[in-house]
Amino acid sequence: MSFFDRQGIPGWVLNPSRIAQDGMQAIGLDDTADLESDDSSQGTGSNIDDTSFEDDVAILRDYYFITADETEDKFEMYGLVQLSTRRWLEKFRQEETFRQQYIERMAASFPTG
């Protein structure tokens, strides 16, 4: 979240399992997405990822690091939290790793063509 604009961060771009599912549907692999949704109804697959994502968001909200709109599909990260996170990543030499993840998620969310 620290590399996004701090306001109006869409939840679907933060959750890697959602990006993969939406990306497959966007390029016409709906059958594969249907198979994955069948798996998730049995308690495996992306359902676990969604639960983990929701737990992570809940922790960030509980500590007031982020806020969410009523439907929890858009988030806002406080400016000071975003700055602190970036400085922490710099200090521990992780900034480039997370910047690359940000770029990959954005590229997967908005494919070319």
List per-block mean pLDDT (blocks of 10 residues) for the chain, which spans 113 residues: 93 75 46 42 56 91 95 94 97 97 89 75
Element (H, E) at 5: none
pLDDT computed for residue 61 by the predictor: 95
Q: What is the DSSP letter of 3?
A: T
The token duo for 101 is: 């993840």
Query: Where in the chain are the domains?
Result: 9-109
pLDDT computed for residue 74 by the predictor: 95
pLDDT computed for residue 40 by the predictor: 41
- DSSP symbols for 31-98: HHHHHHHHHHHTT-THHHHHHHHHHHHHHHHHTTSEEE-TTSSEEEE-HHHHHHHHHHHHHTT-HHHH
Give the pLDDT confidence of 59-90 residue by residue, as tens digits.
999 999 999 999 889 999 999 999 999 999 99
pLDDT computed for residue 50 by the predictor: 76
pLDDT computed for residue 41 by the predictor: 43
pLDDT computed for residue 109 by the predictor: 84
pLDDT computed for residue 31 by the predictor: 44
The token duo for 29 is: 């692999």
Angstrom distance (rounded) from CA 85 to CA 60: 13
Tokens 């700055």 found at: 83
pLDDT computed for residue 98 by the predictor: 95
CA distances from 99 to 5, 11, 67, 73 (A): 13, 18, 22, 22
